[in-house]
Chain A
Amino acid sequence: GDSVTQMEGPVTLSEEAFLTINCTYTATGYPSLFWYVQYPGEGLQLLLKATKADDKGSNKGFEATYRKETTSFHLEKGSVQVSDSAVYFCALSKSYNTDKLIFGTGTRLQVFP
């Protein structure tokens, strides 16, 4: 069946370090891909998305490129801040909309000053 696999956390970084959180997927067809973020004490919120191969989603300095050849959607940021500390979830949808998202297990990021 369709699934999303994320690197296990926690990922611990110093402020201004480069961030990569790996995400790979298994799905038939052409899914849409998403990154959601959950800050402490808050609900999940959409960070960025890409709906077709080679699309790059970006927001708040984060980027992810939809790579169909490697079935990946890795999240990157060039310089993390303490305020980026959160849990990051990769997800896919089999349709253009967000019905029945399939999520990964989440990766906790801890950024220290």
Chain B
Amino acid sequence: GAGVSQSPSNKVTEKGKDVELRCDPISGHTALYWYRQSLGQGLEFLIYFQGNSAPDKSGLPSDRFSAERTGGSVSTLTIQRTQQEDSAVYLCASSLDRLQLFFGSGTQLSVL
């Protein structure tokens, strides 16, 4: 596609359920990033994939969060046993040269 695509655009879930958020990066972009934006907060780095290297997971807030990137393209962010504080907009970005990020429109996650 022409840009970074994220799905779903909105997700409402109950506390304790698991959720999966999907990101389709721009074709050919080797770097992929996940950020989240909680209400009133700046964007918070979560995880970064670069090619076949081991991902930088230093921003993941707890072991309930995990992400994978299959075939160097699509990425899935999984949140297990969701909590209300996980409610946020989850943003995915990709980059060809690691000098400019291209963001998707995000997934609005609401945990009831």
Place the interface of chain A in its size category. 20 to 34
Q: Once the chains bind, are A105 and B40 in contact (CB under 8 Å)?
A: yes
Residue from the set A4, A41, A101 with the largest chain B CB neighbour count within 10 Å: A101
Q: Once the chains bind, are A44 and B59 in contact (CB under 8 Å)?
A: no
**Complex alpha-carbon distance, A89 and B104, angstroms:** 15
Q: Does A100 contact B (CB under 8 A)?
A: yes
Q: Once the chains bind, are A98 and B99 in contact (CB under 8 Å)?
A: yes
Interface residues of A in 10-43 (CB under 8 A from B): 36, 38, 41-43
**Complex alpha-carbon distance, A105 and B56, angstroms:** 23
Q: Does A104 contact B (CB under 8 A)?
A: yes
- How many residues in B have their beta carbons less than 8 Å from beta carbons of A? 29
**Complex alpha-carbon distance, A4 and B103, angstroms:** 20
Q: Once the chains bind, are A98 and B105 in contact (CB under 8 Å)?
A: no
20 pairs from A and B in contact (CB 8 Å cutoff) = A38-B103, A42-B105, A43-B4, A43-B93, A44-B93, A44-B103, A45-B102, A46-B101, A97-B97, A98-B98, A98-B99, A98-B101, A99-B31, A99-B33, A99-B50, A100-B59, A101-B45, A102-B42, A103-B43, A105-B42
Spell out A's residues near B (CB within 8 Å). 4, 36, 38, 41-46, 89, 91, 96-106
**6 other A-B residue contacts (CB within 8 Å) besides A97-B97, A98-B95:** A36-B103, A42-B105, A89-B43, A98-B99, A100-B45, A105-B42
